[in-house]
Structure 1
Amino acid sequence: MSATDYAASQQVVRNYLDQVSLPAPVSAAREAELVEQATALLRAKDATLVAHYYVDESLQALAEATGGCVSDSLDMARFGQTAEASTLVVAGVSFMGETAKILSPEKRVWMPQLAATCSLDIGCEAGAYRAWRRQYPDHVAVVYANTSAAVKAEADWVVTSSIAVEVVEHLHAQGKSILWAPDKHLGGYVQKQTGADMLLWDGACIVHEEFRTRGLDDIKRIYPQAAILVHPESPDEMVAMADAVGSTKQLIEAARRLPHSHLIVATDKGIFYKMRQAVPDKVLLEAPTRGVGGDCVSCAHCPWMAMNSLERLVNCLHSDGVGHSIEVDEATRIGALRSLTRMVEFQRA
């Protein structure tokens, strides 16, 4: 993908950001009322709440309290397959809802806010990806989970950040060359870890690309004994400073494992809800973004994840999913199912 194309895709991302509608804050009393309503409605609609680590902690807490799931995108997908409920309510972003529907077509899949998308998804449009892939027919096409169902349908493999290195190692051992999309930072990290022959799509996450080493140097001077935890969607220079690099779930595990009393965390700050549960005796610090002394698009919190709220969840459930339902056409679903099934089965092996 050319630099010009990347610039164009980032303009598309900015256009989407202009359309973000964040929910208004609510009082503690109103939140308690919404939790009560949502709990009753989940039961009445035979629905289970599947929430990502990055959504508001009120939604994560509700998922825990009602027998749902709070996890990364891989475990969210696997949970949805085994959940007994006939309806999955996915609090996250659109590709997560699509993945749930692809893997569980017999279930209704709703989202509190259908407009919640992802900068990586936006920056990897299916037609452009299809054309790029056709230029390299001898490469194995591996796409990150943060892509549309249409892109997944063009790919050979889907991976999450928790298994990306292992999958590419597996393919590299077979002598395969890799066509990777869409996150260039994660792709570069995987390439360094595996030594694989990889061509990378020129895309990036607007949250993780905001982290800067200058700010990290500053906070390390204040907390010199703190460990640095970095998601591999972050720029390479951030990864180079890390004591632990990994997916959201892996970073929570690293927080438990590391002996440090202070942890500087370079990923979406929504992760702090579960990380505090894992290490209640440790001090968690947000890694600085370029929002300190400069412009910041996301400031360590995905604006589309932030579109999910208790009020929107209640509206979704009240409406029986009208205006909230995820649908994937059957041809696309079958195509995407092949690459997603490889991901799920690889994790189980």
Structure 2
Amino acid sequence: MPATPPPPPVSEEERTRLRSRIKRLLKERDAVLVAHYYVDEDLQRLAEETGGCVADSLEMARFGNAHPARTLVVAGVRFMGETAKILNPEKRVLMPTLQAECSLDLGCPASLFIPFCDAHPDRQVVVYSNTSAEVKARADWVVTSSIAVKLIEHLKARGEKILWAPDRHLGTYIQHVTGADMLLWNATCVVHDEFKGQALAALKRQHPDAAVIAHPESPTAVLDLADVIGSTSQLIEAAKNLPQQKLIVATDRGIFYKMKQAAPGKILMAAPTAGEGATCESCAHCPWMAMNALANLAEVLETGTNEVHVEETVRVKALRATQRMLDFAASIRQKNHGD
């Protein structure tokens, strides 16, 4: 868990002052704000109001790559800033804090992962975007949860065996859906791993008219109870389209800001993190995402500190697998558009 606590709350007057300052600085610095669904809603709202982007990690990468701004400000966790720099070496990439880690990234250190890959040379190395630049540099493919199943289906159809990292819950889910031969790295997300199947079943009994929507980083016992399983963007779409008026949501509660926009009037309930084996380390919110705030966002725009750097030889290698992800995602969009 992060050693640095989240920033303290600020008054409404201070929030208004910080928001005005950030908007002015974004213009002055030729910068655009790219925010993940899991950060504080103040930052998501700012990104919307200033022509930036609120999205999952795939769309964040795509948006930052296409936007003409010379500076990208990434509100999220460290691997997201690294991905922006991998794709945009000519741009300056800043983050409100460089201390915002990811348990999946931390759980897959390059020093251990690279020898593991070397020991299995017959497998295509597919890594989740929640990994360091060094791990991406060793991979054949980078993937996000929104396209993971389709990519593994594609590789399976080519007769490939897969080495998957780092999230074992997501890997297990993909393996179940696709039937692919997958060797799984053993790491989990501190948020999604806290959701409890027994407690979720009890909540469903209390609300039999509710649909359960879950991110595939959740444990199998939770996914077995889900009506919809998908990436953050897919869950927002499901919230809009499902007929149920009550939704039990098994992902970071930061998503509620955009989910309420997509499905106004629906009742959103966080899936339970209490129950047998509970430690409540996250309580449905990423402690590292919570480190992004208005104050440190304003500070980084003012000072230009917290710039993300990726060593060039690592960046070039990581770009290959990351660009493959973007190209594959584009081919899916083109096929769907053609259909």
Quote the Cα distance in structure 2 between the aligned partners of 1:228 and 1:94: 30
SS of the equivalent of 1:284 reads strand
Quote the Cα distance in structure 2 between the aligned partners of 1:80 and 1:105: 11
Sequence identity percentage = 58
Quote the Cα distance in structure 2 between the aligned partners of 1:292 and 1:166: 34
When normalised by structure 2's length, the TM-score is 0.96
Residues 199 and 275 in structure 2, CA contact (< 8 A), matched pair in contact too: no
Match of 1:343 among 293, 304, 325: 325
Residues 201 and 225 in structure 2, CA contact (< 8 A), matched pair in contact too: no
Quote the Cα distance in structure 1 between the aligned partners of 2:216 and 2:206: 24
Q: CA 1:149–1:291 in 2, change beyond 3 Å: closer, same or farther?
A: farther
Q: Any residues of structure 2 matched to 1:71-220 within 5 Å, and which?
A: 71-220=55-204
AA in 2 matched with 1:142:
V
Quote the Cα distance in structure 2 between the aligned partners of 1:118 and 1:139: 26
Name the residue aligned to 1:12.
Answer: none
1:208-229 deviation digits (Å, cap 9, x = unpaired): 0000012212221221110000
Q: Which runs of 5+ in 2 are unaligned?
A: 332-339
Quote the Cα distance in structure 1 between the aligned partners of 2:271 and 2:214: 9
Match of 1:244 among 210, 228, 231: 228
Residues 291 and 299 in structure 1, CA contact (< 8 A), matched pair in contact too: no
Quote the Cα distance in structure 1 between the aligned partners of 2:2 and 2:189: 17
Q: Which runs of 5+ in 1 are unaligned?
A: 1-16
1:286-330 deviation digits (Å, cap 9, x = unpaired): 1110379942110100000000000000000010x22x1000010
Name the residue aligned to 2:314.
Answer: 332
Q: For the aligned residues, what is the CA RMSD?
A: 1.1
Report the more deviating stretch, 250-259 or 143-152: 250-259
Quote the Cα distance in structure 2 between the aligned partners of 1:285 and 1:85: 37
Q: How far 1:81 moved relative to its partner?
A: 0.6
Match of 1:223 among 207, 228, 241: 207
SS of the equivalent of 2:164 reads strand
AA in 1 matched with 2:228:
A
Q: CA 1:218–1:291 in 2, change beyond 3 Å: closer, same or farther?
A: closer
Q: How far 1:27 moved relative to its partner?
A: 1.2
AA in 1 matched with 2:99:
A
Quote the Cα distance in structure 2 between the aligned partners of 1:332 and 1:222: 51
Name the residue aligned to 2:4.
Answer: 20
Quote the Cα distance in structure 2 between the aligned partners of 1:69 and 1:188: 31
Residues 196 and 276 in structure 2, CA contact (< 8 A), matched pair in contact too: no
AA in 1 matched with 2:42:
S
Q: How far 1:18 moved relative to its partner?
A: 4.8
SS of the equivalent of 2:136 reads helix
1:35-59 deviation digits (Å, cap 9, x = unpaired): 0000000011000000000000000
Residues 136 and 321 in structure 2, CA contact (< 8 A), matched pair in contact too: yes
Name the residue aligned to 1:284.
Answer: 268
Name the residue aligned to 1:232.
Answer: 216
Quote the Cα distance in structure 2 between the aligned partners of 1:205 and 1:293: 16
Residues 207 and 267 in structure 1, CA contact (< 8 A), matched pair in contact too: yes
Name the residue aligned to 1:56.
Answer: 40
Quote the Cα distance in structure 2 between the aligned partners of 1:131 and 1:19: 29
1:163-222 deviation digits (Å, cap 9, x = unpaired): 000000000000000000000000000001111000000110010000001221222122
Q: Which runs of 4+ in 1 moved over 2 A?
A: 290-295
Quote the Cα distance in structure 2 between the aligned partners of 1:173 and 1:40: 51
Name the residue aligned to 2:336.
Answer: none
Q: How far 1:20 moved relative to its partner?
A: 2.7
Match of 1:37 among 8, 21, 44: 21
Name the residue aligned to 1:10.
Answer: none
AA in 2 matched with 1:339:
A
SS of the equivalent of 2:150 reads helix
SS of the equivalent of 1:217 reads helix
SS of the equivalent of 1:285 reads strand
When normalised by structure 1's length, the TM-score is 0.93
